[in-house]
Amino acid sequence: MEGFDRSGTGSIKWARAGAGRIALGLADMDLPGPPEIGAALAERARHPAYGYTVCDPAGRELVAAWYLERHEVVVDPDWVLLLPFSPRTALRLLFEVAAPRRPVAFPAPEWIGFRQICDAAGLRCRPVPLAADGLGYRLPVAGLTRDGTDLIVLSSPHNPSGRVWTADEIRALARAAAAAGGLLVSDEVHGDLVHPDHGLSQPVAVAVAGEAARHVVTLNSVGKTFNTSGVPSCFALVPDPGLRERLTALMAGYGLWEGGLLEQVVQRAALRHGGPWLDGLLGGLVAARDLVLAALPDGALLSRPEASYLVWLDAAALGLPADRAREVLLAERGVELSDGTDFGLLGRGCLRLNYALPRPLLEAALTRLTDPVPGR
Residues with Cβ within 8 Å of 104's Cβ and at least 6 positions away in sequence, in order, are 95, 114, 118, 123, 124, 125, 126, 149, 151, 152, 153
Query: What is the dihedral angle through the alpha carbons of 207, 212, 215, 220, rounded to the nearest 10 degrees?
Result: -10
Q: What pLDDT score does 372 carry? A: 64
Q: What pLDDT score does 7 carry? A: 76
Whether 99 is covered by a domain: the verdict is yes
Based on the domain organization, do 119 and 57 belong to the same domain? yes
Above 90 in pLDDT, residue 172?
yes
Q: What pLDDT score does 340 carry? A: 96
Based on the domain organization, do 183 and 331 belong to the same domain? no
DSSP SS3 for 164: coil
Whether 198 is covered by a domain: the verdict is yes
Q: Is beta strand 216-220 parallel, antiparallel or unpaired with respect to 183-187?
A: parallel
Count structural domains, the chain.
Answer: 2
Whether 6 is covered by a domain: the verdict is no
Above 90 in pLDDT, residue 326?
yes
Whether 81 is covered by a domain: the verdict is yes
Whether 131 is covered by a domain: the verdict is yes
Above 90 in pLDDT, residue 11?
no
Work out the mean pLDDT of the chain and round it to a whole number: 94
For residue range 332-359, list pLDDT tens digits in order. Answer: 999 999 999 999 999 999 999 999 999 9
Q: What pLDDT score does 376 carry? A: 38
Based on the domain organization, do 160 and 236 belong to the same domain? yes
Based on the domain organization, do 26 and 64 belong to the same domain? no
Based on the domain organization, do 264 and 327 belong to the same domain? no
Q: What pLDDT score does 289 carry? A: 98
For residue range 21-40, list pLDDT tens digits in order. Answer: 999 999 999 999 999 999 99
For residue range 264-301, list pLDDT tens digits in order. Answer: 999 999 999 999 999 999 999 999 999 999 999 999 99
Percentage with pLDDT > 90 across the chain: 89
For residue range 314-325, list pLDDT tens digits in order. Answer: 999 999 999 999
Q: What pLDDT score does 256 carry? A: 96
CA dist 315 and 329 (Å) reads: 10
Residue where one domain finishes, among candidates 236, 253, 272: 272
Based on the domain organization, do 177 and 226 belong to the same domain? yes
**Domain around 299:** 12-34+275-370
Listed ranges 11-15, 197-201, 217-221; the one with the highest mean pLDDT: 217-221
Whether 1 is covered by a domain: the verdict is no
CA dist 210 and 205 (Å) reads: 9
Helices (H) and strands (E) in the chain, counts: 14, 14
255 residue type, one letter: G
Q: What pLDDT score does 10 carry? A: 87
Q: What pLDDT score does 167 carry? A: 96
Based on the domain organization, do 221 and 319 belong to the same domain? no
CB distance 191 to 73 below 8 Å: no
Above 70 in pLDDT, residue 373?
no
At residue 8 the predicted structure's pLDDT band, cuts being 50, 70 and 90, is confident
Q: What pLDDT score does 43 carry? A: 97
Residue where one domain finishes, among candidates 226, 252, 272: 272
Which H or E run includes 271? helix 261-273
Based on the domain organization, do 112 and 257 belong to the same domain? yes
Based on the domain organization, do 296 and 267 belong to the same domain? no
Q: What DSSP state is assigned to residue 329? A: I
CA dist 163 and 88 (Å) reads: 20
In angstroms, how far is the first alpha carbon of the chain from the final one? 22
| DSSP bridge partners of 155 | 187
CA dist 311 and 292 (Å) reads: 8
User: Mean pLDDT, to the nearest integer, of 183-199?
Assistant: 97
Above 60 in pLDDT, residue 1?
no
For the domain that residue 297 is a member of, what is the CATH number?
A: 3.90.1150.10
Percentage with pLDDT > 70 across the chain: 98
Based on the domain organization, do 191 and 335 belong to the same domain? no
Above 90 in pLDDT, residue 19?
no
For the domain that residue 201 is a member of, what is the CATH number?
A: 3.40.640.10
Based on the domain organization, do 78 and 193 belong to the same domain? yes
Based on the domain organization, do 195 and 342 belong to the same domain? no
Whether 67 is covered by a domain: the verdict is yes
Which H or E run includes 155? strand 151-155
User: Mean pLDDT, to the nearest integer, of 353-371?
Assistant: 95
User: Mean pLDDT, to the nearest integer, of 303-310?
Assistant: 96
Residue where one domain finishes, among candidates 234, 257, 272: 272
Whether 2 is covered by a domain: the verdict is no
For residue range 220-267, list pLDDT tens digits in order. Answer: 999 999 999 999 999 999 999 999 999 999 999 999 999 999 999 999
User: How many other β-carbons are positioned within 10 Å of the β-carbon of residue 286?
Assistant: 15
Q: What pLDDT score does 334 carry? A: 95
At residue 82 the predicted structure's pLDDT band, cuts being 50, 70 and 90, is very high
Residues with Cβ within 8 Å of 209's Cβ and at least 6 positions away in sequence, in order, are 170, 171, 174, 175, 178, 184, 215, 216
| Residue 123 backbone phi and psi in degrees, to 5 | -105, 145
For the chain, the helix, strand and coil percentages under 3-state DSSP, each to the nearest 5: 45, 15, 40
